[in-house]
């Protein structure tokens, strides 16, 4: 009875390579399917809104300057209107300070004049001016995603 009925106790190299190929095919198929199903789940990033309220126009009497550190913004109120200049240095993103001649970055010394134009230092471009508008509820709002040309002022009614 030992002619053709002997039991297999060892796995042959051919069987092992066959099982490894099947296992590799299963793993690669699962990774492809994971990628396909991942496409249907959107990448949602929760970021802070670029639009925020400033308050009423009466809160900004002519001649006042407010620095909003948490928003990286200066709000200027002059007789001919309100305007917002970014307080974020265009070199490496530090918050600039206001000086008697304009703005200066405390990190690397970039200097800007009173309109935000670069006058010295490593900053590659001028400070941005942002749009101020009137919200539906009658308060002022600024949108830091909207840049406006230098000299653009909001004139409250």
Q: What is the pLDDT of residues 73-85, one digit of tens each?
A: 988 888 888 889 9
CATH number of the domain within which 101 lies: 2.102.10.10
pLDDT at 7: 66
Decide if 42 is inside a domain.
no
Decide if 41 is inside a domain.
no
How buried is residue 81: exposed, middle or buried, by Cβ count under 10 Å (0-12/13-18/19+)?
Answer: middle
Decide if 125 is inside a domain.
yes
Decide if 155 is inside a domain.
no
Decide if 25 is inside a domain.
no
Q: Provide the whole-model pTM.
A: 0.66
Tokens 């508008």: give the residue. 133
Question: Domain residues for 96?
Answer: 51-148
* pLDDT of 136 above 80: yes
User: How many domains are contained in the chain?
Assistant: 1
Rounded distance between C-alpha atoms, residue 108 and residue 91, angstroms: 8
């Amino acid at each position: 009875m030992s002619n053709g009925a002997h039991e297999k106790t060892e796995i042959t190299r051919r069987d092992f390579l066959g099982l490894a190929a099947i296992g590799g095919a299963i793993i690669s198929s699962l990774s492809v399917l994971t990628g396909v199903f991942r496409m249907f789940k959107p990448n949602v990033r929760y970021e802070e809104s670029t639009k925020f309220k400033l308050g009423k126009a009466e809160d900004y009497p002519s001649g006042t300057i407010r620095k909003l550190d948490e928003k990286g913004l200066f709000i200027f109120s002059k007789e001919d209107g309100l305007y917002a200049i970014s307080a974020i240095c265009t070199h490496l993103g530090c918050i600039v300070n206001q000086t008697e001649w304009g703005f200066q970055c405390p990190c690397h010394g970039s200097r800007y004049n009173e309109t935000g134009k670069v006058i010295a230092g490593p900053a590659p471009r001028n400070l941005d001016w942002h749009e101020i508008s009137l919200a539906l509820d009658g308060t002022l709002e600024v949108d830091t995603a909207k840049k406006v040309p230098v000299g653009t002022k909001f004139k409250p009614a």
